Amino acid sequence: MKNYKCCSPLQILFAAVFFLSFSIKLSAQDGEKLFKQNCAVCHAAHTDQMLTGPGLKGIFDRAPKGDWLKKWILNNEKLIKGGDAYATQIYAKYGKAAMTVFEGQLTDADVDAILTYIKTPPVEKVVTGGPAAGADEGVAEASKGGIEPIYLILGSIVILIILLYALRGVRHSLQNSANRAEGKEETPEVSFFEEAKQWMQGHRRLVGVFAIIIVFGGMKSCWDACYNIGVYYDWKTQKGYKPEQPIKFSHKLHAGDNEIACQYCHSSVEKSRHAGIPSVNICMNCHKGIQKGPQYGEKEIAKIYEAAGFDPSKNTYDPSKQNPLKWIKVHNLPDHVYFNHSQHVVVGKIDCATCHGNLKEMTVAEQKNPLTMKWCIDCHRNTQVSMEGNAYYDRLHAALKEKYAGKYDVKFTVDKIGGLECGKCHY
């Protein structure tokens, strides 16, 4: 057995699997993946759907030519501060929403790969039936992505084991003919597993290393699965949900055309975890006077009166006839998740539209984001905590600055203040 030690088939097997998994990992770092990791939270690559940032369809036509796109993607702040015309224009156009700075995180080659991915729209995939039909781009892309690396690795392990088995037979008969030539006894046939066991006993350290790799790999995929909850099943999330409400209430008409502030109706959004849905009394503040609407005339507004027990002909209320409106909740987090509006809106200074889309253009309120754990976490990884001028953070900021002074160009994203800890979001 000794003479096989330097390159026994089992060693070749392990080495091959190791390099194979390694190279698959490298080749998967393509534009699509990079885009999904870094940009997809805020941009749709091939449509003009508005997320936090604009959809990137047609970007090569509207953005300045040359290496503008590259400069923008690596450091948009620099371009905006430098007064670049197009940069300042889009910055203003999208409500001064900040795009992440990627300098230091992405290389030039990464950006090229991302741009190539944006340039080449995925082949249209026809989805037939099922809840995924007509779903968003994310679903189509998730089902597109070719063979999973894990199947490639498993497949190659199986092939290598078969090869190994065959080679072993050949080796055994070669050994025996050599033995016969030298007049020695034939080596008895040892079972494959027996041989593997002997080999492993002889290579404890190597086996140990692989065991560790496998255990950690397993833990990593558990974590990923956990973290991605809801993502592979995007159709299961309620994104795009817009139930019909008891009254045809339009945000476009109220918050858009008539510019009524969100807080006028969702008055607890800055003070508590719930934004709150206005009671019928709030509607009556205006609708006691406004008895006709532009689209439905008196029909829909009459439902407000019915709920309030109000008789417009007599201008009186009858409390015994009150009948609260039963609005259907659009956004629903499971009970085990804790989400707090005031923390995001007041402390985090996040605009409603970042999470809810532009209500000012919706006639029917619709859920625009998946509300999965990945969605929360991706934002926590990417969004910098706005500490400046925020008394709550003055001390923390000073301490962090001191801790990292001159060492790194650290970004204080939400994950750095504990935004990925399970207990922060889960009861």
What minimum distance in Å lies between the beta carbon of 201 and ligand HEC? 38
Exposed e or buried b per residue across 219-247, where buried means at least 16 C-beta atoms within 10 angstroms of its C-beta: eeeeeeeeeeeebeebbebbbebeeeeeb
What minimum distance in Å lies between the beta carbon of 360 and ligand HEC? 5
Identified binder of ligand HEC from the candidate list 15, 28, 109, 290, rule CB under 6 A: 290
Exposed e or buried b per residue across 262-281, where buried means at least 16 C-beta atoms within 10 angstroms of its C-beta: beebbeebeeeeebeeeebe
Complex with ligand HEC: residue 408 or 427, whichever CB lies closer? 427
Distance in angstroms (rounded) separating the CA atoms of residues 368 and 29: 29
> Residue 276, interface with ligand HEC (CB under 6 A)?
yes
> Residue 319, interface with ligand HEC (CB under 6 A)?
no
Q: Which residue is nearest to ligand HEC (CB)?
A: 293
Exposed e or buried b per residue across 194-209, where buried means at least 16 C-beta atoms within 10 angstroms of its C-beta: ebeeebeeebeeeeee
Distance in angstroms (rounded) separating the CA atoms of residues 227 and 374: 6
> Residue 45, interface with ligand HEC (CB under 6 A)?
no
| Residue 77 main-chain phi, psi, to 5 deg | -60, -40
Contact assessment for residue 418 and residue 424, using Cβ atoms and an 8 Å cutoff? yes
Which residues between 172 and 211 bind ligand HEC (CB under 6 A)?
Answer: none
Identified binder of ligand HEC from the candidate list 168, 360, 397, 416, rule CB under 6 A: 360
What minimum distance in Å lies between the beta carbon of 243 and ligand HEC? 8
Identified binder of ligand HEC from the candidate list 13, 16, 63, 157, rule CB under 6 A: 63
What minimum distance in Å lies between the beta carbon of 333 and ligand HEC? 4
Instruction: Point out which span in 155-163, 206-214, 346-354, 394-402 binds ligand HEC (CB under 6 A).
Output: 346-354
Contact assessment for residue 14 and residue 210, using Cβ atoms and an 8 Å cutoff? yes
> Residue 373, interface with ligand HEC (CB under 6 A)?
yes
Determine the longest span between alpha carbons in the chain, in angstroms.
120
Rg of the chain, C-alpha, whole Å: 31
Instruction: Point out which span in 5-13, 87-95, 150-158, 189-197 binds ligand HEC (CB under 6 A).
Output: 87-95
Instruction: Point out which span in 97-105, 126-134, 145-153, 311-319 binds ligand HEC (CB under 6 A).
Output: 97-105
> Residue 365, interface with ligand HEC (CB under 6 A)?
yes
Distance in angstroms (rounded) separating the CA atoms of residues 198 and 120: 53
Number of residues that bind ligand HEC (CB under 6 A): 105
Distance in angstroms (rounded) separating the CA atoms of residues 235 and 140: 11
Contact assessment for residue 102 and residue 37, using Cβ atoms and an 8 Å cutoff? no
Which residues between 100 and 159 bind ligand HEC (CB under 6 A)?
Answer: 100, 102, 114
Residue 306 identity: E
> Residue 52, interface with ligand HEC (CB under 6 A)?
yes
Identified binder of ligand HEC from the candidate list 327, 397, 400, 411, rule CB under 6 A: 327
Which residues between 374 and 403 bind ligand HEC (CB under 6 A)?
Answer: 375-377, 379-380, 382-383, 385
Contact assessment for residue 34 and residue 110, using Cβ atoms and an 8 Å cutoff? yes
Which residues between 200 and 259 bind ligand HEC (CB under 6 A)?
Answer: 226, 229-230, 237, 245, 247-249, 251, 253-255, 258
Of residues 325, 276, 330, the one with CA closest to residue 305: 325
> Residue 54, interface with ligand HEC (CB under 6 A)?
yes
